[in-house]
């Protein structure tokens, strides 16, 4: 249980940091060519915002147990 709390804090904190410090991360890493071609001008910023949001959502899904039920249904469809 303690381990899940640590992962929760790291996941949410990392996602929020990615959202808040997008400009600093972009200055540190430079532009991502795939993001610029996929999202257009400013695509690196969009990618970093989506990455932060995705990290927050996936962390919440993992903590609540939603990911354990959803992922097998997507990866191993029955029928």
Residue 56, both tokens:
């927050």
39 within 8 A of 47, measured Cβ to Cβ: yes
The reported pTM is 0.81
Q: What is the pLDDT of residues 30-58, one digit of tens each?
A: 999 999 999 988 899 999 999 999 999 99
To the nearest 10 degrees (0 to 180), the angle between helices 43-64 and 22-29 is 120
Cβ proximity of 43 and 32 under 8 Å? yes
Q: Where are the domains of the chain?
A: 2-69
77: confidence class by pLDDT, cuts 50, 70, 90: low
């Amino acid at each position: 249980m303690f381990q899940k709390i640590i992962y929760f804090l790291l996941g949410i904190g990392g996602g929020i940091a990615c959202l808040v410090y997008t400009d600093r991360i972009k200055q540190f890493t430079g532009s991502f060519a795939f993001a610029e071609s996929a999202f257009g001008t400013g695509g690196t910023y969009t990618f970093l915002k989506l990455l932060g949001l995705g990290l927050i959502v996936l962390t919440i899904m993992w903590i609540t147990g939603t990911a354990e039920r959803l992922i097998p249904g997507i990866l191993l469809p029955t029928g």
